[in-house]
């Protein structure tokens, strides 16, 4: 008999951040402690900005702008960076046991397995996406979805992702403290080169429900299962209410100070290949994000590949050079080599200031 998984699909209304995140946190708990089969939660949020568990929310977001624009902000239980959510972004929470058949074992394997499912969902609209190790789903170098996860309860895992059906880059630039804000005149083109949406890729106005249906079907095919549309039972409701109270409406959680120190810096180096500008966000000793711009010759895909590879690398020369060396091809950036690029990044690190 075909295995049944549970599906919490909410198409009627966007959820508040507190409700959506509390339901997601309940999923792995229910799988681990309440005997539930895997649960997939598909929904949308009200316009909101959600930071990763260990991000400095005050450094990541302009909270006053969020309030002025009626954008909710909150902190999720999984890792990674800030995501901007809203009625045109499909939110996905999955609670599943780490040793479930079909889930590749190990930390990186989990992301890979679930990315395959998402790629299959996306391909139903004729969009060819691929997994960019370790955490992004991309279409020709542009990010379509970000993935994050946390080991929450016993062997059960909470997996989070968001898929962009449509996206307001202007809103994102207004409420986020990103290094790119510093080059706002170039901001729109920089962002539009780095992010894509279902709308852009298909040239159609897709509804979030269509995308949710495709995700549901891709899960059913990949794992050979069938979903039962369901809703939280009383045990789960109680867990959700508790998490809303203790976490998602609690200032101690939302403004948690458990995070690496956030800093940013800019590096400018004249090279044989042209002027190279590096905008760097640091989280403690790691590179949280970087943007490479300048008047050199390269392709968007090559620059993105480099930026993506360096995310969350330790900001030390050896680590940066090792990461770059592993992916470097001659003239990836015309006239530039690994040590020069590493020097520009280190210069941005030297120039770091507190956000």
Dihedral angle, C-alpha 216, 89, 306, 298, nearest 10 °: 110
What order do you get walking across the sheet with 83-85 strand by strand?
72-75, 48-51, 83-85
Residues in region 180-199 near another protein by CB under 8 A:
none
Answer yes or no: are the C-beta atoms of 324 and 232 closer than 8 Å. Answer: no
Report d(CA 201, CA 354) in Å as an integer. Answer: 37
Peptide bond before residue 134 is cis, with ω within 30 degrees of 0: yes
CB of 233 to another protein, least distance (A): 26
CB of 242 to another protein, least distance (A): 19
| Contact with another protein (CB under 8 A) among 87, 126, 170, 284 | 284
From residue 250 to residue 279, what is the string marking binding to another protein with x (rule CB under 8 A)?
--------xxx-------------------
| Contact with another protein (CB under 8 A) among 193, 209, 286, 293 | 286
Nearer to another protein, 283 or 333 (CB): 283
Candidate segments 1-9, 38-46, 145-153, 269-277, binder of another protein by CB under 8 A: 145-153
| Contact with another protein (CB under 8 A) among 68, 107, 297, 335 | 107
| Contact with another protein (CB under 8 A) among 125, 191, 235, 312 | 312
CB of 314 to another protein, least distance (A): 3
Nearer to another protein, 28 or 187 (CB): 28
Nearer to another protein, 305 or 311 (CB): 311
Q: Does 314 bind another protein (CB under 8 A)?
A: yes
Report d(CA 8, CA 95) in Å as an integer. Answer: 11
Nearer to another protein, 20 or 28 (CB): 28
- Strands 72-75 and 48-51 turn out to be parallel
Q: Does 33 bind another protein (CB under 8 A)?
A: no
Report d(CA 200, CA 164) in Å as an integer. Answer: 10
Residues in region 110-129 near another protein by CB under 8 A:
110-111, 113
Report d(CA 32, CA 253) in Å as an integer. Answer: 23
CB of 70 to another protein, least distance (A): 28
| Contact with another protein (CB under 8 A) among 93, 146, 187, 273 | 146
Q: Does 108 bind another protein (CB under 8 A)?
A: yes
Residues in region 66-85 near another protein by CB under 8 A:
77-80
Strands (E), the chain: 3-9, 39-43, 48-51, 72-75, 83-85, 89-97, 130-132, 136-139, 142-153, 156-164, 225-229, 262-271, 274-283, 286-294, 353-354
Instruction: Provide the 8-state DSSP code for 15.
Output: B
| Contact with another protein (CB under 8 A) among 36, 82, 148, 289 | 148
CB of 287 to another protein, least distance (A): 9
CB of 284 to another protein, least distance (A): 6
Answer yes or no: are the C-beta atoms of 127 and 198 closer than 8 Å. Answer: yes
Report d(CA 93, CA 61) in Å as an integer. Answer: 23
Q: How far is CA 267 from CA 13, 275, 341, in A?
A: 45, 10, 10
- Describe the chain by its helix, strand, coil percentages, rounded to 5: 40, 30, 30
The site for another protein (CB under 8 A) is made up of 52-54, 77-80, 99, 101-111, 113, 134-135, 146-151, 258-260, 283-286, 288, 311-314, 316, 319
């Amino acid at each position: 008999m075909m295995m049944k998984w549970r599906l919490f699909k909410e198409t009627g209304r966007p959820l508040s951040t507190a409700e959506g995140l509390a339901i997601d946190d309940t999923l792995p708990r229910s799988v681990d402690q309440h005997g539930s089969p895997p649960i997939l939660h598909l929904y949308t949020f009200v316009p909101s900005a959600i930071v990763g568990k260990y991000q400095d929310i005050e450094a990541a977001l302009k909270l006053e702008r969020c309030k002025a624009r009626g954008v909710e902000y909150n902190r999720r239980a999984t890792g990674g960076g800030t995501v901007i959510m809203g009625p045109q972004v499909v939110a996905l929470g999955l609670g599943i046991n780490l040793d479930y058949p079909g889930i590749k074992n190990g930390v990186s394997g989990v992301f890979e397995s679930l990315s395959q499912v998402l790629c299959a969902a996306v391909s139903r609209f004729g969009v060819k996406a691929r997994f960019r190790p370790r955490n992004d789903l991309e279409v020709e170098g542009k990010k379509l979805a970000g993935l994050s996860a946390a080991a929450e309860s016993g062997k059960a895992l909470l997996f989070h992702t968001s898929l962009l059906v449509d996206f307001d880059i202007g809103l994102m630039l207004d409420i986020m403290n990103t290094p790119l804000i510093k080059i706002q005149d170039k901001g729109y083109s920089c962002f539009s080169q780095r992010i894509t949406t279902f709308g852009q890729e298909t040239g159609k106005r897709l509804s979030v429900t269509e995308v949710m249906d495709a995700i549901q079907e891709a899960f059913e095919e990949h794992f050979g299962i069938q979903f039962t549309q369901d809703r939280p039972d009383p045990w789960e409701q109680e867990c959700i209410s508790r998490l809303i109270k203790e976490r998602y409406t609690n200032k101690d959680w939302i403004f948690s100070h458990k995070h690496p120190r956030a800093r940013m810096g800019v590096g400018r180096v004249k090279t044989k290949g042209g002027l190279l500008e590096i905008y760097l966000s640091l989280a403690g000793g790691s590179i949280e994000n970087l943007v490479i711009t300048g008047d050199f010759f390269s392709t968007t895909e090559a620059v993105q590949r480099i930026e993506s590879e360096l995310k969350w690398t330790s900001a030390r020369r050896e680590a940066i050079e090792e990461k770059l060396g592993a992916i470097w091809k001659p003239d990836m950036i015309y006239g530039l080599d690994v040590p020069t690029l590493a020097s520009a990044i280190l210069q941005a690190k030297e120039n770091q200031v507190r956000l």
